[in-house]
Amino acid sequence: MQPTVRYFPLCKNCKSPQGAVPSNQPAFFRIEFSRPSNPDYVYLVLTKDGETPIRYEMERKDVSVEGFAEYTCNLTVTSSGLYFYHFLIQTPHEDFFVGCDNTLNAMMGKGSEWQLTVFQKSLPAPSWQKGGIFYQILPDRFFTGGERLMTKQHAVYRNDWNGIPEYRPNAEGKILNNDFFGGNLRGIIKKLGYLKSLGVTCVYLNPIFEARSNHKYDTGSYRRIDSDFGTAADLAELIKKAAKKGIKIMLDGVFSHTGDDSVYFNKNGTYDSVGAFQSQDSPYAEWYSFNDFPNGYASWWGIDTLPNTVEENKAFSEFINGEDGVIRTWTQLGLGGWRLDVVDELPDSFLYRAAAAAKARDSEVMILGEVWEDASNKISYGNRRKYLGGEQLDSVTNYPFKEDILYFIKTGDAKRLAETVHVLINNYPKDVLDNLMNLLGTHDTVRILTALGDSGNADTREKRAKAKLKNRDAAFDKLKLATVLQYTLPGNPCVYYGDEAGLEGFEDPFNRRCYPWENQDKKILSRYRRLGKIRTQNKHVYGTGRFKLITAENGVFAFKRIGQDETMLTVVNNGADVYELKLSTPHTDLLTNKPFNNKVPPTTAVILKETAIYNSILIKK
């Protein structure tokens, strides 16, 4: 008879600390093995990524639980990095490999290895955003403050605020991204009260430095605020006035490439400088990679308006990360942090310096990387990345949650969402987990309402430009479920401007329409404000509380967030049955602010606050 084992790394009796572990600090492991078979030896087998496995013998305890013998070990890993482990059980008759399934539970004789992330925290983790709310703004499309700034000769200045952004290519087949609607920094200043009403604690701005395009990812000068957005004084005022409302400002750091129309490349001869495109003797020549000067140069995804930088170049790295560099210069205005664009394309040496530069004057400055996968084990360009080792990133964009929240809402597959949540809790350091940017939509993705709804046949760009949801109420019902998860899972929700007002839109540029100030969807906006209030009033438990899954089956996803003095329960019913909660006392449904009748009908959600809530969730018979 084959023995059975019990081990789950997110159970505090099985592994401590939960998730990633600090280097040079002991970690505890405990596995239970069924009798009557008595192993000769039980080993924890640990392998550092790319190295040789090492066995650590586990100690048998005299106490048995329900016929299970306990084996434990304490292990101190002295070197940070990515590790994998399994258990090996040797019996008088047979040896057994013990690995894990997709849920991280132990499997006898098969399965994968568990991941163990070991980090060395040399840079302090910021604490101010834990339990907070991010809000992303594309400045040109948010609000116009004061006199409209129109400073560019090549620009097409639009006067139809609610119009469709230009999406048709020119005669050469290029999308110019040169239509401007007039949003600016002073417009954001004027709307700080509105942002406060949503519970926002950090505004993440898409690029604001001088650039030719409306999106500004083609930097023209890192030393200047784009003249259509305002001035450095406007940014300083925004930072100062936002701080008075408890809101910090995060800038988008786009360092993997510049614009071809820039001080540094100067392909069009716009600037007085001698750019890298103009001369191989340019002081910026080594910032770029040419294989056939001047037209043969490396560019971002082959887009010739975005020439790649050589981040390892000493002069470029010093320009961005040095004592008088770009990061320090703008951070000293009081920035809350930097979101590093396409961080996969920034080498380790650059990231170490960028993080150190950002935190040189204030350790609470956040460095957040744009990563679309599990950042703890990411391989990019053939190299295993070290984002979460403790010296590069404080946290990352949480696209894994986004994808599986949407999948759950569309299919009812709660198990897959639970697996993703558990894997990230297991793989990420706790500070990284608590500072995650949990998004459902961005400037790079379809608007969340459109993603959840039915816009009919939209198989051409012409159709997608004009597409409207057939049934907004049905899409809103799904959005209500998705946002409850976004606001209560580990990490911090990030609202893409206009999502809370009901904006629709397919891919770029249709997801970049202007904020509909005169046509807000009040029902959707009210929902976001309610979620913001719940989060604000329970900041500590949502900021650092641990996650405990209650159920993930039959279309129902329910979990607790457990803090020191309180517990929050989230139940999302995306199934076909009414669910009933067994509660010890009367409760208020925080989403409706009304007494809760203990029932959760299909396509609804509930958030409850309690010091002790029963674990049982039963289908009503």
Distance CA 315, CA 228 (A): 29
Token readout for 567 is: 């517990």
Rounded to 10 deg, the angle between the 348-358 and 314-321 helix axes is 20
Cα separation, 116 vs 97, in Å, equals: 18
SS3 83: strand
- Tell me which of 234, 370, 374, 434 is the catalytic residue: 370
Full DSSP string of 457-507: ---SHHHHHH---S-HHHHHHHHHHHHHHHHHSSSEEEEETTGGGT----S
The catalytically annotated residue of 260, 341, 374, 404 is: 341
Which residue, 154, 230, 160, is CA-closest to 190?
A: 230
Give CA–CA dist 205/443, Å, rounded. 11
DSSP, collapsed to helix, strand or coil, labels residue 111 as coil
Q: Is 149 exposed, middle or buried (0-12, 13-18, 19+ CB in 10 A)?
A: buried
Contacts of 374 (CB under 8 A, 6+ apart): 400, 423, 424, 427
Q: Is 508 among the catalytic positions?
A: no
Question: What is the dihedral sign for C-alpha 331, 337, 339, 343?
Answer: positive
Q: 359, 360, 367, 365: which is closest to 396 by C-alpha?
A: 367
Q: Please report which helix (H) or strand (E) contains residue 618, including its range.
A: strand 617-619
Report the candidate in 572, 582, 559 with the shortest Cα–Cα distance to residue 602. 572
3-class DSSP assignment, residue 328: helix
Helix axes 472-488, 522-537, angle to 10 degrees: 10
Q: Is 370 a catalytic residue?
A: yes
CA dist 361 → 162, 202, 337, 364, 385 (Å): 42, 19, 12, 9, 26
Tokens of 117: 């992330």
Give catalytic residue positions. Answer: 341, 370
